[in-house]
Amino acid sequence: MSMKETSGISLDNAAVAATPKHLLQFAVDQRYDDYTLVDHAVWRFIMRQNIFFLKEYAHKVYFQGLLDTGISFERIPRIQEMNDILAKIGWGAVAVDGFIPPAAFMEFQAYKVLVIACDMRQIHHIEYTPAPDIVHEAAGHAPIIVDREYSKYLQRFGEVGAKAMSSKKDFELYQAIRHLSILKEQPNSDPKEIEEATKLVEHRQKHLGDPSEMALLSRLHWWTVEYGLIGPMENPKIYGAGLLSSIGESVSCLEPHVRRIPYSIDAMNQPFDITTKQPQLFVCRDFQHLKDVLEEFASKMAYQVGGLEGINKAIECNNVATCEYSSGLQVSGVFTEAIRNKELPGHGINYHKEGFGSPIGKWRQTSTPPELLTDNDLRELGIVQGKKTKLEFVSGIVVEGKIDEIVRRDRRLVLITFSNCRTKYGDRILFDPDWGAYDMAVGERISSVFNGAADKDAYNQVALVPKERTIKVPSDAKRKKLENLYAQVRKIRESKTGYERLGEIWETQQAEHPGDWLLSMEIFENLDTIDQQPNLKAKIEKFLNQKKATTKDLSTLIGWGFRLVEYHKRPEYQATLQASPK
């Protein structure tokens, strides 16, 4: 495996190479060799079921996207392969460990990079997994973004989401949901521990307070990108990756008991439970409809509204945010403790480590917005470098001191540095000469307020990378024997030789792993293909039907397996398999 793969980052891919380092800290090694033959068999079962069901019920671009992206139906794809595929449409991919924070997820999308949770769901979650996995990302998201209009929507959503205000309570809820999803996916989890984790999620959801911009936007993302339906209300198609990657929910989501709601901005008021199937889904008319609703939401966000409303949102969130002055100057920090960023030379976080404050608005001496004042205008107002001056703001704030430096950017006045400066608002002292140099940001108004630092890499903003890791259960001796049986069956299927050994393999499985059903289905499929050993085939069919009748969770899956065996004889299915990569 190459160094580019082991780092979880493919620098051969232009989109990934352009992603800033504060995001790439989430990238992990896919550890491809850790996937077992059981994992590959689960992938194969899901993908083949998708061919059967989704060809009729998914959005028309999805199935073509499966072929265009070159995703194999036979084995789990490598991230490097995904990058080679996605590069053709200007996208890339990085491997990550389970759920990552919503703000980071959105920003990756803005850079046209899919984050691929590289875990593989366990066989007991073959229908639906409560945690993100490579089926969800590679077989759910990747094929649908082949559509140019949809991929533009996805990128735009990332751009909007990266600027959305989020709170510490949002992050605490995210941590609780991530923890619960890890427990639910882990084999033999303690039911009491799951119950406690579920209660914590419910508690944090209940006490979230007024949802932040990010919380509301995450709901829109969930009801579109993850769980969206498209087309006429009476006969919609599936395009959401959560549905496309869940063979259980892709079937049940179109049944009458799942309520269908016309998609609108009101979807932001509908919370969701990430660990279970959804009781209602939203139906959009087309991909343009998605974009229209997104822009409607974005028009009300702090980054477009700015002003006092935007600043108040930044204060309420109590997280690092950025205010952009009408001069273009950007100030980043935790408001009310605003810390300068998007760096002017010499004005980084070390220089302003004690905090940074500055008045906003027009000056009494002129009706011209201060950022538009020319050097001649400043001289006429007595604002000259090296001289003492007094500025009075319309708001009542007074700044008095010696001007040490006047800074412009793109011809606009952005900063004036004073020494021996006193700043007052009525009787209140805002800045005292003993505090050192005073750097006054210039701007008539705040035009934009958005989440995070203006320049995250310069700000050294370290995103909150989850400390809890997803759990990869190591194979014990018994499990390795079962994996070896899967390997033997796969070799027989691919080489088309050794069919006479299937009976021995099945007897071993029956004796040592009687709870396994997927291997029996694969052996049954092999025997049906060659139309030989009818007695063995009948025994296996009887075993699977007993499992189907006595084990509720397996009833549907085994039924689907039999259905697929019949379907694979059809010419159109064979043509599809031949078109797909191996």
Is the pLDDT score of 324 beyond 50?
yes
d(CA 457, CA 41) in angstroms, rounded, equals 42
Give residue 107's pLDDT.
92
Compute and round to an integer the Cα radius of gyration of the chain: 29
Distances (CA, A) of 152 to 17, 109, 243, 288: 19, 10, 21, 10
Buried b (16+ CB within 10 A) or exposed e, 550-581: eeeebeebbebbbebbebbeeeebeebeeebe
pLDDT in tens, 414-441: 999 999 999 998 888 889 999 889 999 9
pLDDT in tens, 262-290: 999 999 999 887 767 789 999 999 999 99
Give residue 303's pLDDT.
85
Tokens encoding 543: 């075993």
pLDDT greater at residue 495 or residue 352: 495
Contact 4, 10 (CB under 8 A): yes
For residue 142, give the nearest of 260, 272, 4, 15 by alpha carbon.
15
Looking up tokens 């075993």, which residue turns up?
Answer: 543
Tokens encoding 232: 């006429």
For helices 102-110 and 213-221, the axis angle rounded to 10 degrees is: 60
Average pLDDT score over the chain: 84
Name 138's Cβ contacts closer than 8 Å, sequence gap at least 6: 71, 76, 77, 82, 116
Give the confidence band of 347 by pLDDT, cuts at 50, 70, 90: very low
Is the pLDDT score of 397 beyond 80?
yes
Give the confidence band of 300 by pLDDT, cuts at 50, 70, 90: very high
User: Per the omega criterion (within 30 degrees of 0), is the bond before 336 cis?
Assistant: yes
Name 572's Cβ contacts closer than 8 Å, sequence gap at least 6: none
CATH classification (class only), 361-444: mainly beta
> What dotted CATH number matches 3-295?
1.10.800.10
% of the chain at pLDDT higher than 70: 87
Give residue 415's pLDDT.
93
**Mean pLDDT, residues 71-97:** 89
d(CA 147, CA 170) in angstroms, rounded, equals 32
φ and ψ at residue 383, rounded to 5 degrees = -100, 95
Is the pLDDT score of 326 beyond 70?
yes
First to last CA, the chain: 19
pLDDT in tens, 517-549: 999 999 999 999 888 899 999 999 999 999 999
Q: Which residues are bridge partners to 297 per DSSP?
A: none
Cα 104 off chain centre by: 7
**Mean pLDDT, residues 369-376:** 94
**Mean pLDDT, residues 61-88:** 86
For residue 358, give the nearest of 380, 391, 404 by alpha carbon.
391
For 388-457, strand residue ranges (E) read 388-392, 397-409, 412-425, 428-431, 438-441, 446-451
Is the pLDDT score of 92 beyond 60?
yes
Tokens encoding 177: 């949901």
Looking up tokens 């007897």, which residue turns up?
Answer: 507
Distances (CA, A) of 68 to 52, 62, 115, 147, 515: 18, 10, 19, 11, 37
Name 109's Cβ contacts closer than 8 Å, sequence gap at least 6: 154, 155, 157, 158, 161
pLDDT in tens, 39-50: 999 999 988 888
Residue 141 burial (C-beta neighbours within 10 Å; 0-12, 13-18, 19+)? buried
Name the amino acid, one letter, at 410.
Answer: D
Break the chain into its structural domains and give their ranges: 3-295, 361-444, 477-579
For residue 233, give the nearest of 266, 251, 214, 258 by alpha carbon.
258
Is the pLDDT score of 358 beyond 70?
yes
d(CA 560, CA 546) in angstroms, rounded, equals 15
